[in-house]
Amino acid sequence: MGGHGSGWHRKSAPVVERCEKIDLADLRRHSDTFAEGEGVALCSALVSHRHPGLRLRYWARHPDGRELYLDEVVPFAYTPTQFGGQRRWLKCLGCDRRVRALYGGKRRLFRCRKCYGLAYRSTRQTWSDRADSQADRLALKICGGDRKLYDGETFPEKPKRMRWATYHRLEEQFYEWKDEWESGVEQKIIGFLRRAL
C-alpha cells in the first residue's frame, strides 16, 4: 500500500498550444482578403467569408478511417458590447457554444476547445515551471520580444527610455523567479534520487 506508482493517475489531456487553430484575431489580419471573397489558407483549411459566417473547406478523417472532404459554414454569433456595437464570435458546430477560436486540422474536424477536451499548458506547470515562464515573459517584454537579446539566463540590458528604478525592480523580480525555478529543479532531482535508491 502506498508504494511507488500507487495512487490516482489522470491521463493528461492534449494541450491547446499543440493544436492548429482558426482564431478570429488571426482572421482580422486577413480582412482585406475576406472583403474580396477569396479564401485564406489557415492551418489545413481554406477559410473564406460567407454571409452568415465562415466557410471552411478541409480534409478530415471519419471515425471508420475514410478521408472526407468537408465544406462547412461556421455561423457567427454576436453579443452587444458595453458602449454600443457588437462583438463577433464563432459558433461551434459540435456544441453550439460561442467561441473565439476553433481547433482541429491534421485530419480532425474544427471544433471548440471543450469539444476536444483541450487544456492550456499553463495548467500543467508546477510552481517552479510557472516561475521560470514568468521570468522569461518579463525578460522578453524588456527586450521588446526579440529573442536575440535574451539568452534565457541573464536579465537583458536596460532599454533606452526606462527609468533605472523600474529596471532594478524588474531585474530583482526576474532573479527571484529564477531562484524559485532553481529550487524547484533541485527538489525534483532530490526526489528522483530518493526514489532511485
Sign of CA dihedral 146, 149, 159, 154: positive
Query: Three-class SS of residue 196?
Result: helix
pLDDT of residue 77: 92
The residue with cell 532531482 is 189
pLDDT of residue 2: 47
pLDDT of residue 131: 87
Is the separation of the CB atoms in 19 and 115 below 8 Å?
A: no
Nearest to 113 by CA among 104, 105, 121: 104
Q: How far apart are CA 10 and CA 13, in angstroms?
A: 9
pLDDT tens, residue order, the chain (197 aa): 445 444 444 556 678 778 888 888 877 776 666 655 667 777 777 787 777 888 888 888 777 778 888 888 899 999 999 988 999 899 999 899 999 999 887 677 888 989 888 888 877 778 888 888 888 888 888 887 777 777 878 888 888 889 999 999 999 999 998 998 888 888 888 888 888 87
pLDDT of residue 29: 75
